[in-house]
Structure 1
Amino acid sequence: MNNIVLDVKDLAASYQKNTVLDNVHFKVEQGTLTGIVGPNGAGKSTLIKSLLQLHPSLKGDVKFFGEGFQKAKKRIGYVPQRGSVDWDFPTDALDVVTMGLYGKIGWLKRPSRHHKKSAYEALAKMGMADYANRQISQLSGGQQQRVFLARALVQDADLYFMDEPLAGVDAATEKAIMATLKELKSKGKTVLVVHHDLQTVSKYYDHVLFLNKTVMEHGKTEDIFTPENISKTYGGNMIFIEEENMHVVDSSQ
């Protein structure tokens, strides 16, 4: 069995006195690529933010590599939702990526030529080298997402959390992002991704975590990504069209 890199026990969290997460238990093994899926309001983003101490938790015990967050945080990378970022901040793409190195550089020190080279190489990996000196506000949504993924890559973390990195991006960017995530997995990295498109879960992830305020199911995609578990998680508002690949439609919208 692979090493456990994330162990969550009895996690709970709320927004304005409304409980959004309760009794959350799960473990994640090293070298896995996990899709976190669930309906709107299920607590997917809150889960990631609570794990990373960006949102207060009511209770629970979370261990990263057997340690608390403060000791393990240098081994963790995070890509937030694009909508939560102030894209009007006056900085260029290369500087945004270089910020991912500040945990190693130190906030009061200037990045060296070596650091800038590493940041540029991460941009190039995401097909964004030509935009290194472009103001971040002048980039398209897909380009901004590639820059943020490059910032996470340059950290060379062991565990990555990504909050809907595919939301609102074009097909080419989606393909590039998923190729990068699968490459991370092949290198033994562990990645958890909040994902909204059920039709691509089986194609993209080897593990899936069904969430609706608590963990409904969690395990290998081939074992638990079933109509029964989807209906249980989404409240039965799903229509299934049986074809060679399972297609899922949310009938509540």
Structure 2
Amino acid sequence: MPVLSVKSLSASYHRNKVLDGVDFQVRPGTMTGIVGPNGAGKSTLLKVMLNLHPRLAGEVSFFGSGYNQVKARIGYVPQRGSVDWDFPTDALDVVLMGLYGQIGWLKWPKQQHKEKAMQALDEMGMADYAKRQISQLSGGQQQRVFLARALAQEAELYFLDEPLAGVDAATERAIMQTLKTLKEKGKTVLVVHHDLQTVEDYFDHLLLLNRRVMAHGPTEEVFTKENIFKTYGGVLRWMGEKSG
């Protein structure tokens, strides 16, 4: 059974259709890059699948069930720019927010929850910043904290929306190593990604999206000049070609 199945998914923003009949399935234990031009619907796809944005039509199932039935098995890291970083909380509390499903609403976290959160921060090299206000952290540090929150959930399926955007090289390496380790443990990872230069190094599967699925499958099969031109409208210079 696929861990994720999407059928005829459509959605719009302000009456503009940004997803149009999207169909694909994701197998367990894979790391899929979601790639396409600006405005292609990549972030919207994640939000619609996770019930964060309304859909016009279509079906989405996780592990054969609806999102609400299995949301504890799913981790999500939103775009850094969509988060209110001025909210008065520290890094440890941000990670603990990812454990509310285990803690229970309106209940105080127990020592075991704090230890799990600290372990996740430590894995991301952020244990020393546990009591630092989130607004005082750099962009790369903030991204590490949000990934630590997802790790603490111990999910089976992870969605990350542009986790490498605007981060330093060290943070990018740390994030990708963490995602690689998750995959090696049998977890499934989907990442909205923008850098075509690193696609082949980072992902074993690729979903090329421009309002609809242009191509999907193993990276070595999908990441071709023809598919990239089709996805980007032929305006993107193919890597390796010289101008002139």
Using the size of structure 2 for normalisation, the TM-score is 0.98
Map 1:1-253 → 2, pairs under 5 A:
3-242=1-240
Matched residues in 1 for 2:28 and 2:208: separation? 19
Matched residues in 2 for 1:241 and 1:86: separation? 36
State the shift of 1:86 in Å.
0.4
Q: 1:38–1:234: 8 Å Cα contact kept in structure 2?
A: yes
Matched residues in 2 for 1:219 and 1:72: separation? 25
Q: 1:77–1:159: 8 Å Cα contact kept in structure 2?
A: yes
Query: Cα distance 1:248–1:143, how it changes in 2: closer, same or farther (>3 A)?
Result: farther
Aligned residues: 243
The percent identity for this pair of structures is: 71
State the shift of 1:241 in Å.
4.0
Query: Cα distance 1:134–1:65, how it changes in 2: closer, same or farther (>3 A)?
Result: same
Matched residues in 1 for 2:167 and 2:152: separation? 21
Query: Cα distance 1:51–1:248, how it changes in 2: closer, same or farther (>3 A)?
Result: farther
Structure 1 consecutive aligned stretches of length 4 or more whose deviation exceeds 6 Å: none
Q: Determine helix, strand or coil for the equivalent of 1:4.
A: coil
Q: 1:238–1:248: 8 Å Cα contact kept in structure 2?
A: no
Identify unmatched segments of 5+ residues in structure 2. Answer: none
Q: 2:75–2:150: 8 Å Cα contact kept in structure 1?
A: yes
Note the aligned Cα RMSD (angstroms): 1.2
Deviations 1:134-155 (A, max 9, x none): 0000000000000000000000
Matched residues in 1 for 2:150 and 2:59: separation? 25
State the shift of 1:240 in Å.
2.2
Matched residues in 1 for 2:98 and 2:21: separation? 33
Matched residues in 2 for 1:129 and 1:50: separation? 33
Q: 1:39–1:233: 8 Å Cα contact kept in structure 2?
A: yes
Q: 2:134–2:142: 8 Å Cα contact kept in structure 1?
A: yes
Matched residues in 2 for 1:117 and 1:225: separation? 42
State the shift of 1:248 in Å.
10
Query: Cα distance 1:241–1:63, how it changes in 2: closer, same or farther (>3 A)?
Result: closer
Letter in 2 for 1:45: S
Letter in 2 for 1:109: K
Matched residues in 1 for 2:242 and 2:61: separation? 34
Matched residues in 2 for 1:24 and 1:241: separation? 27
Matched residues in 2 for 1:105 and 1:248: separation? 56
Matched residues in 1 for 2:31 and 2:231: separation? 20
Matched residues in 2 for 1:240 and 1:82: separation? 29
Matched residues in 2 for 1:95 and 1:248: separation? 49
Matched residues in 1 for 2:239 and 2:132: separation? 44
Using the size of structure 1 for normalisation, the TM-score is 0.94
Matched residues in 2 for 1:25 and 1:78: separation? 21
Q: Determine helix, strand or coil for the equivalent of 2:132.
A: coil
Query: Cα distance 1:241–1:67, how it changes in 2: closer, same or farther (>3 A)?
Result: closer
Matched residues in 2 for 1:206 and 1:76: separation? 20
Matched residues in 2 for 1:153 and 1:161: separation? 12
Q: 1:50–1:56: 8 Å Cα contact kept in structure 2?
A: yes
